């Protein structure tokens, strides 16, 4: 079954908006695994506007499920943190400084040399690597040449067009996933996946290992309750 990793950034955003420690980010991570999540994802940014670097260190010491840290590897502070904490997985995202949210995958051809170098840094430290990739077979083929263990399919395009015609929306992702499988790359996915579109995506993407979901799940938790929301997302993946 495809694993569910919960991105807890939004808990940190809410905490930081008021100051103090409510909601407690470490508790959000521990509750995620207690409620049935297969992993916890965080995306620290240089300005620490949501997840703080101290949160990352604290979470790593406490959780027992898989820990995934995603972020911009062109920031040395991020690289140093990942090498210090040594999560199970690092996901490399081509963010610009100050970017509100990730909005595209790597050009794995244009940035091949850079990706080869930085991926080797993490893999030499025993950390599984994944890189954000758009659903483009050429980019998937380029990803193979970088030495990454996995790709994470950036799913905003799928989510945006799902309600119009889901068959068209998912087609490039299926083609990208088939290419990844043929090349021996693991497949993760994330961005704007929710209770409406997740099941169809998971049923149609061959070899889907993991989805990372944060914003939609936290929004649903406000109405449905955190534990219930986690379980509802898990059921979409069965």
Contact 48, 7 (CB under 8 A): no
Catalytic: which of 33, 50, 152, 191?
191
Q: Give yes or no: 43 in active site.
A: yes
Catalytic: which of 33, 43, 66, 210?
43
Distance CA 54, CA 48 (A): 10
For residue 69, what are the CA distances in angstroms to 35, 56, 92, 125, 131? 20, 8, 9, 14, 12
Distance CA 204, CA 172 (A): 11
Catalytic: which of 66, 70, 152, 210?
70
- DSSP three-state, residue 129: strand
Distance CA 28, CA 172 (A): 34
Q: Give yes or no: 191 in active site.
A: yes
Active site residues: 43, 70, 191
């Amino acid at each position: 079954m495809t694993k569910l990793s919960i991105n807890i950034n939004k808990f940190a955003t809410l905490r930081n908006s008021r100051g103090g420690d409510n909601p407690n980010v470490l508790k959000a991570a521990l509750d995620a695994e207690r409620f049935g999540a297969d992993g916890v994802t965080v995306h620290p940014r240089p300005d620490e506007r949501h997840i703080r670097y101290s949160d990352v260190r604290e979470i790593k010491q406490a959780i027992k499920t898989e820990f995934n840290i995603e972020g911009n590897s062109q920031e040395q502070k991020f690289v140093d943190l990942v090498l210090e904490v040594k999560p199970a997985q690092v996901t490399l995202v081509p963010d610009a400084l100050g970017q509100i949210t990730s909005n595209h995958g790597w050009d794995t051809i244009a940035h091949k040399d850079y990706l080869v170098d930085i991926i080797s840094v993490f893999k030499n430290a025993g950390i599984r690597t994944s890189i954000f990739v758009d659903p483009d077979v050429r980019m998937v083929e380029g990803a193979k040449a970088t030495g990454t263990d996995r790709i994470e399919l950036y799913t905003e395009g799928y989510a945006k067009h799902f309600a119009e015609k889901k068959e068209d929306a998912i087609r490039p992702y299926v083609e990208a996933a088939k290419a990844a499988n043929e090349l021996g790359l693991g497949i993760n996915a994330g961005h704007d996946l929710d209770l409406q579109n997740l099941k169809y995506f998971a049923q149609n993407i061959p070899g889907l290992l993991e989805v990372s979901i944060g914003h939609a799940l936290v929004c649903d938790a406000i109405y449905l309750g955190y534990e219930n929301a986690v379980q509802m997302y898990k059921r979409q993946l069965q």
